[in-house]
Amino acid sequence: MVEKQNFLLLVGQRIKSVRMSKGINQAQLASLCDRDKQTIERIENGKINTSIYMLNIIAEALQIEPKDLLDIK
């Protein structure tokens, strides 16, 4: 089983990877999610345990399925 902090960091890295592959910066993603840039930065850095609902909002903004954000193999 993956340790909590490591899991949060892996999910955050996955979000960052998808975001960057789509040419979107943190400020743009934050705007698309109606959040501030610091929130996106904290999620990507594994600093906060975000909600499933927020992962859904991020996935919609990135035009992917929420399950794809958890693809951290």
State the CATH architecture for 4-68. Answer: Orthogonal Bundle (1.10)
**Span 26-39, pLDDT tens digits:** 999 999 999 999 99
Residue 20, class by beta-carbon neighbours within 10 Å (0-12 exposed, 13-18 middle, 19+ buried)?
A: exposed
| pTM above threshold 0.95 | no
- The kind and range of the H/E element at 53 are helix 52-62
**Span 41-70, pLDDT tens digits:** 999 999 999 999 999 999 999 999 999 999
Q: What end-to-end distance do the CA atoms of the chain give, in Å?
A: 12
**Coil/strand/helix, residue 7:** helix
